[in-house]
Structures are given as C-alpha cells and as structure tokens.
Amino acid sequence: MKILVGIKRVVDYNVRVRVLPDGSGVDTDGVKMSVNPFDEIALEAALRLKEAGKADEVIVVSAGGDECQQQLRTGLAMGADRAIQVQTSEPLQPLSVARAFLKIVEREEPGLVILGKQAIDGDNSQTAQMLAALWGRPQATFASEMTLEGDTATVTREVDAGLEVIEVELPAVVSVDLRMNEPRFVKLPDIMKAKRKPLDVVPLADLGVEIGNNLKVNTFAPPPQRAKGIMVEDAGQLVAELKNRGLL
C-alpha cells in the first residue's frame, strides 16, 4: 500500500509573525520557513506504518513554488521514499489544493492519505475534508491514534466532547492532531540520501485543475495591543475603577 502525505511550507512556529505596514499580508522577508508541524506529525505516522510493515511506500506532496522543494527534501530526509511538487507560483486556497491533491491521488492510487489537521499559517482546516469529499472516500479528522487492520483504519479522534473512536474503510483521508506522535529528528546522513531520492515536479497547469481561490482576503491586522494596567490598593478601589470605566 502507498501512503500519500501532504507537506506545506509555512512560517516557522518560533517566528514572531508581523503584519506588513500596508496590511496586505504577513512579512516573510528573512523569515524562517518550515514544514507545517502537523504535516510533520502526519509524515511520522506514515513512516511508522511503513516501518510496521503496513505500507510499502510513503510519498510526500506539496503544492507551491520551487522553494517548497526544501520542505519536500526535509520529508525525504525524515524517511519518505519520493516526493511530488505540484508547481505553481500562485497562492492556493484549500479547495485548489484539494483539487490538485485529488489529481495526484488518482495518479498514485494510495491506500491512505494522511494530512495535518490544519496549517499553522491559514489555520483553515479544510483541505483534508475537501479532498475526502471530492474523492468520494471516508475521512477521519483530528486523529490522535490510528491502527490499520486489513482494509479498515481504526482512528481515535480528538473532538470537543473528548475522544471518539471510529472505523473507516480504506482508501481514506486521515488528518492528524498534535498528540498523534512526536516526529523524529532527521539524521545527518539521511539528508545526503534525501538529495538522491526522486522529486517529481508536476506543473499545476498540466493537471487540468480548476483553481478554486474563491475567498478574497481584504486586510491583515495584528491583534490590538494590550493597554498598560494599573495596580489597585484594595477591592474598593478595584470596584471604583471598574465603575469609572463603565464596566460595572
């Protein structure tokens, strides 16, 4: 069985994200970019399945400009067997990514697609769900545990009410949550091996995908700054101050 894993290049989680002065987006000049942490977890899950003999091949896929090859190489260094870049210079919204991934799915016919539950830049959490719907296959989102038995995946989902265990028939789309695993470190010699692993570049235009960028972003703004507080002497003064501000 093949497993397909989605990889997105995002601003690293350590970076203090700054909105551009004109509100047109986020400043990425000189900013560290990384593999979306949830995608790293997805890849780790796939690699563990392969190591347990449940899969034969792990393929990492990313959609974007050539700079995302860096993240695909990271995926290859972690242990993926090969990589596919859906090449486009246009920024893609989830529906477009899902449509592009569907084309790759049709071509590769994986038994399982594992994606991060969301990317830490847009925080959309849509691609996995949309891909499952377009593909007409089951989805198991926000997974924190997964076991495979024959054609069935048993998945523990992290939902608002607690944990939900479901079974889905393969092929299926699984999106993973933080507690699924802790991704491995990349071994230095594996970085060298990754350079020799195949990385196919497929222009988005060649896939015949209709771009579905149907959301328009009006403006970006940082959250309001917290105003300076005051120290109050006692409860009486606290009440008075609250009343002063019309909060009581």
Partner 1 sequence: MTEREVMEYDVIIVGAGPAGLACAIRLKQLKPELMVAVIEKSAEIGAHILSGAVIEPAPLDDLLPGWRDNPPAPCIAVEKDEIWLLSKEGKRRLPTPPQQKNHGNFIVSLGALCAWLAPQAEALEVDIFPGYAAADIHYSEDGAVGGVIIGDMGVDREGNEKDTYMQGIEIHAPITILSEGCRGHLSKQLIKRFGLDTDSDPQTYGIGMKELWRVAPGKSKPGLVQHTTGWPLDSKTYGGSFIYHLDKDRIAIGFVTGLDYQDPGFMPFEAFQQMKNHPMVRDLLEGGEILSSGARAIVEGGYQSLPKTEMPGALLIGDAAGTLNVPKIKGTHQAMRCGMLAAEHIAETSGWEGFDAKLRHSEVVRELHKVRNIRPAFYKGFWRGFIRAAFETITMGKWPGTLKVHADHSALKKLDEYTAPDRRWIERTLPPRDRLASVYFAATEHDEDQPVHLRILEPDVCTTRCTEEYGNPCTRFCPAQVYEMVEENDTLRLQINAANCVHCKTCDIKDPYQIIQWVTPEGGSGPNYQNM
Q: Under the rule (CB under 8 A), what is the footprint of partner 1?
A: 12, 14-16, 18, 21, 29-32, 182-189, 191-192
Least distance (Å) from partner 1 to the CB of residue 32?
5
Q: Which is nearer to partner 1, 191 or 211 (CB)?
A: 191
Question: Tokens 């551009």 map to which residue?
Answer: 20
Q: Which is nearer to partner 1, 186 or 199 (CB)?
A: 186
Query: What tokens does 46 get?
Result: 């796939």
11 membership: H or E segment, kind and range: strand 9-11
Report the greatest alpha carbon distance in the chain: 71
- CA 115 to chain centroid, in Å, comes to 6
* Buried-exposed string 108-141: b where 16+ CB fall within 10 A, e elsewhere: bebbbbbbbbbbbebeebbbbbbbbebbebbbbb
Q: Return the DSSP state at 63.
A: E
Rg, Å, the chain Cα set: 22
Q: Which is nearer to partner 1, 29 or 123 (CB)?
A: 29
Least distance (Å) from partner 1 to the CB of residue 168?
27
Q: Which is nearer to partner 1, 83 or 194 (CB)?
A: 194
Q: Which is nearer to partner 1, 42 or 102 (CB)?
A: 42
Least distance (Å) from partner 1 to the CB of residue 218?
23
Amino acid (1-letter code) at residue 72? L
d(CA 219, CA 246): 31
Q: Which is nearer to partner 1, 18 or 82 (CB)?
A: 18
Least distance (Å) from partner 1 to the CB of residue 15?
6
Least distance (Å) from partner 1 to the CB of residue 46?
17
Q: Give bridge partners of residue 173 from the DSSP assignment.
A: 113, 139
Least distance (Å) from partner 1 to the CB of residue 66?
12
